[in-house]
Structure 1
């Protein structure tokens, strides 16, 4: 389930939403390092700056989801998406996967805006990634037959480790991680317990 055996072309064909999101991550990262591109401009216009959100720049509740602060940041989040996103895209479908991913990311950014000080600045898709973990937890709670015992153990272990690391690592947006996770669980509960969910 979490082992990728597809070729590059097969991966793109089977999981187009995950592929597009990762592609956007990589594209925006390379824009920030091209010498001909004013890299600060991208962060100035797209980063989650609470002060600017309060001033009415509400797109900053969305754009930080696809913007990262460096190569390792982008690589880690993209790798996490490639690892945990495809199974969910296949299980719930492209449309619901997009709703899950971006709703979790936006909810994480809204919580960051409401809880963190106006001077707080943030980028990264970790809130959306934690939304995926939350949805897997909802599967375990409401539709556990969709996951094998081994995959259930993997998800619970990685979710627990990720949550612990949230509190012990520096420069982590704890608020985004927690509210992304909660949003994923809530969306999962709604999708998985609705009669027309189609699972």
Structure 2
């Protein structure tokens, strides 16, 4: 479960949405490390509460594609690489994108509403936690069918939340906001009644490999 054994070409073919998101984030990060130009690009897209209040509302979305450094990028993209494919296959492309972007967006909105005007943030963590939140909803619905999923997802969420509070310079609000949003969307998308309508397309829509 959540082990990636596909070749590079197979991964792209099987998980086009996750592959595209990985590529976009990596390309944008490479652009932001270009001397001079990269600094302006990062500043133009990062979430700055004062500038959002002045009408630069794109800053509620663009921070999802920016990272403060290689370690930050590596952590988020590795999480997306590992957990994203299963959710893309289980939920479908449109629902996956909804979970990913809405979780990141709500996380950024929560950050704007809760923190002061001097607060600035960037990173895809809210969207990543949204993926984990959606899996938490799936755990709720499949606790008897997929106990191994619970054993993996719940500890990861608990440890992630604890570390969010313990580590400095971490957007806790975006993490929690994304997690809750992903969970709520997962409760809607993975509801047994809704899943029942998918069975014509999938013999076992809850299968996770």
Query: What TM-score, normalized to structure 1?
Result: 0.94
Structure (1/2) with the larger helix percentage: 1
Q: How does 1:17-36 map to 2 (within 5 A)?
A: 17-35=17-35
Deviations 1:119-144 (A, max 9, x none): 11000011111111111110111244
- Name stretches of at least 5 consecutive residues in structure 2 with no aligned partner: 199-204
Given that 2:63 and 2:123 are in contact with CA atoms closer than 8 Å, whether structure 1 keeps it comes out as: yes
Q: Which of residues 170, 173, 181 in structure 2 aligns to 1:172?
A: 170
Deviations 1:23-50 (A, max 9, x none): 1111011111224x61111122110011
Between Structure 1 and Structure 2, how many residues are aligned? 197
Q: Which of residues 154, 157, 175 in structure 2 aligns to 1:156?
A: 154
Alignment partners' CA distance in 2, 1:194 and 1:41? 47
Q: Does 1:110 align with 2:81?
A: no
Give runs of ≥4 in structure 1 deviating > 6 Å. none
Alignment partners' CA distance in 2, 1:179 and 1:5? 32
- Find the counterpart in structure 1 of residue 39 from structure 2: 40
Q: Does 1:185 align with 2:180?
A: no
Query: What TM-score, normalized to structure 2?
Result: 0.90
Q: CA RMSD in A?
A: 1.4
Alignment partners' CA distance in 2, 1:24 and 1:188? 25
Alignment partners' CA distance in 2, 1:22 and 1:162? 21
Alignment partners' CA distance in 2, 1:15 and 1:63? 23
Q: How does 1:142-153 map to 2 (within 5 A)?
A: 142-144=141-143, 148-153=146-151
Q: Secondary structure at the match of 1:171?
A: coil
- Name stretches of at least 5 consecutive residues in structure 1 with no aligned partner: none
Distance 1:145 1:14, change over 3 A: farther
Q: How does 1:28-107 map to 2 (within 5 A)?
A: 28-35=28-35, 38-107=37-106
The Cα shift of 1:152 comes to 1.8
The Cα shift of 1:195 comes to 3.4
- Find the counterpart in structure 1 of residue 202 from structure 2: none
The Cα shift of 1:94 comes to 0.6
